Structure 1
Amino acid sequence: MMSSASPFNARRLEGKVAIVTASTDGIGFSIARRLGHEGAKVMVSSRKQKNVDSAVMQLKKEKLDVTGMVCHVGKADDRSKLISETAEKYGGIDIIVSNAAANPHLGQILDINEAQWDKIFDINVKSAFFLVKEAIPHMEKRGGGSVVFVSSIGGYNPFELIAPYSVSKTALFGLVKGLVPQLSSMNIRVNAIAPGIIKTSFSSALWHDDKTEKEVASHIPMKRLGVPDECAGAVAFLVSDDGSFITGETIVMAGGVSSRL
């Protein structure tokens, strides 16, 4: 049983070690917090030291076993350091949640330039893959593990003004499927989540005032926006033994918004 101070009632991840990228705010922070409450030792990370310090302080106040470090996932050295220091501190790695993403372009798709296109795919797809690739040997040593990529409902139905970003999220669905055969032989499961419109700083333009939020919510069958904690529970399920026969899948959490390619 968990202590009365915890809002959760399971310790499904006791003894596990998790890395969550871009985990000092929003969805990433909620995921790190949930994994910690379920018993995991968690390495949080983001590009800014002050954000890392703030997140670690907040999570430690909840009596969670967390550490944090700066990691720009687009930099190979940062990724390597994140993997090696986590393994050194906690003795291994069991769980990777790849949440970091970039979107330098807002507007019509044909207006994007090559540098913006490259950044979107370098961070959202390539860096996500190489982060996982580098962690795989550590997972193998532990006898297996679990990977979750944070994609988006936009990967199924691209948002017009962030279409290149949406396409990069479509690529993550393919990456999940592509990794399954080889990772399964290593007892490593790989899945994704595809959040809809979640109330985070990234989506703040869609809910910054009541009128805008109501208009956006009117297009969602559940008539509301999601919150980060509603993503965290699905990730905790996927990386736990409750999801032990699930790999190659994407869980959509979008309030009923269509998710067909």
Structure 2
Amino acid sequence: MAATTGDRQATASKRGLGESTDHLHTICINDCAKFSANRSDTPAEATTLVTRSRASSSTSRRAWPAKHTDRIVTTGLAALDERATAIRARVSRSARSTPFEHRGAAPAGASHMIHALYDLRGKHALVTGASRGIGLAIARALGQAGASVVIASNDAAEGEACARTLREAEGIDAEFCFLDAGERASVEAMWAYAVRARGAIDIVVCNAGVAPHLGPLVSASDDAWTTTMNVNLHSAVWLANLAAPAMAARGGGSIILTSSISGVRGNKAIGVYGVSKAAVAALARNLAVEWGPHNVRANAISPGMIATEFARPLLDNAEVRERRMLATPLRRPGTPEEIAGVALMLAAPGGAFITGQNVIVDGGTTISDGN
């Protein structure tokens, strides 16, 4: 829209005093209508936007000198800004229940239709660390997009309850499988169960993670290193090595690994965790290179400060929270649903040309100068 308006302004300047306000006003109205139509608004909404734009320029029946024509363009831009604000508010309100545009038939039990770019009907997903927080939000988003979901966790009671809620309250085809992510045998058993239950797995999300050590690297015990690397990194390696060949044999699939912004910069408090997450992002790149020729995509997501139980110790500390928010341009923590939206894109046709990437979702923290 910005380029189109710039072209209109340049054209108006060249035409000079002979340009009529009616003509420019029509340009703004037409561009506003096109913008509204492109946002999939209803005809009534489009008409409202055009009427608002027309009414905001009460002098549209007079011919003005060229030096005033930018006022007419500004009228159209103001209407667009107002509409964009309304769209952002609507998206924010629906982030949890409808994290995508909706077209086509809805999955069983759902009340929304699915956009083709995010349609996962007929697909089967396996999500680890999925009984709460980011993992649960990802499982829900994939299920809302039509996929069946196996959620895995080391908390059987919580996991069973989550799967039951997804099935009975939200109409998502979900079931639970126990997983001790630090044990290779448990990862292999989970994979065997998921394949037996679903026939095949098209989407794998490796989200299980721990941070048992807080403090500098020099104070970390061997046990802390072993636990962190086994759960955060090795479990993803084990699962990817099972999933990728099976996906390749079926014609493709998507592997999504949860990394962290602590893996792209140093961290005094959770350095061991950060090292493991840096390795997870590297794993995504290597999987992408190895399996890309077989149409298997692998990507990492690096969340920043997200409002979950995992981040509660930091968020509950007023001083730490204030300092972190001042270093984050959006001035707030993220939500699990905002990570789930990225995972949905990476799993769906809309992300079919994305592989080997580490997608940072942090509200701008890592690009900020701290001011």
Question: TM class by shorter-chain length?
Answer: over 0.9
Question: In structure 2, how many angstroms separate the alpha carbons of the residues matched to 1:160 and 1:59?
Answer: 38
Tell me the amino acid that sits aligned with residue 183 of structure 1.
Answer: W
Corresponding residue to 2:244 among 124, 131, 136: 136
Deviations 1:65-122 (A, max 9, x none): 0011111122222111211111111110101100011211011221111111121111
Partner of 2:197: 89
Question: In structure 1, how many angstroms separate the alpha carbons of the residues matched to 2:213 and 2:243?
Answer: 30
Question: In structure 1, how many angstroms separate the alpha carbons of the residues matched to 2:287 and 2:213?
Answer: 29
Question: In structure 1, how many angstroms separate the alpha carbons of the residues matched to 2:112 and 2:264?
Answer: 33
Partner of 1:249: 357
Segments of structure 1 that go 5 or more residues without pairing to the other structure are: none
Q: Is the 8 A contact 2:110 2:144 kept in 1?
A: no
Partner of 1:56: 163
Alignment CA distance shift 1:144-1:175 (3 Å): same
Secondary structure in 1 aligned to 2:214? coil
Kindly report the root-mean-square deviation, in angstroms, between the aligned alpha carbons of the 2 structures.
1.9
For 1:1-261, what aligned pairs fall within 5 Å after superposition? 1=104, 2=106, 5-6=110-111, 9-10=114-115, 12-60=119-167, 61-208=169-316, 213-258=321-366
Secondary structure in 2 aligned to 1:200? coil
Alignment CA distance shift 1:8-1:71 (3 Å): farther
Question: In structure 2, how many angstroms separate the alpha carbons of the residues matched to 1:109 and 1:78?
Answer: 29
Alignment CA distance shift 1:138-1:105 (3 Å): same
Q: Which runs of 4+ in 1 moved over 6 A?
A: none
Bigger share in helix: 2
Question: In structure 1, how many angstroms separate the alpha carbons of the residues matched to 2:318 and 2:129?
Answer: 28
Alignment CA distance shift 1:6-1:155 (3 Å): farther
Q: Is the 8 A contact 1:206 1:216 kept in 2?
A: no
Deviations 1:109-137 (A, max 9, x none): 21111111121111111111111111223
More divergent stretch after superposition (55-64 vs 72-81): 72-81
Secondary structure in 2 aligned to 1:104? coil
Percent identity between the two aligned chains: 33
Matched positions, count: 260
- Highest RCO, 1 vs 2 (Cα 8 Å, sep ≥ 6): 1
Q: CA deviation at 1:62?
A: 0.1
Decide which structure has the larger Cα Rg and report it: 2
Alignment CA distance shift 1:259-1:166 (3 Å): farther
Q: CA deviation at 1:157?
A: 1.6
More divergent stretch after superposition (26-35 vs 53-62): 53-62
Alignment CA distance shift 1:6-1:31 (3 Å): farther
Secondary structure in 2 aligned to 1:97? strand
Q: Is the 8 A contact 2:177 2:193 kept in 1?
A: no
More divergent stretch after superposition (212-221 vs 44-53): 212-221
Q: Is the 8 A contact 1:23 1:99 kept in 2?
A: yes
Question: In structure 1, how many angstroms separate the alpha carbons of the residues matched to 2:340 and 2:113?
Answer: 12
Q: Is the 8 A contact 1:73 1:131 kept in 2?
A: no
Q: TM-score normalized by structure 2?
A: 0.67
Tell me the amino acid that sits aligned with residue 80 of structure 1.
Answer: E
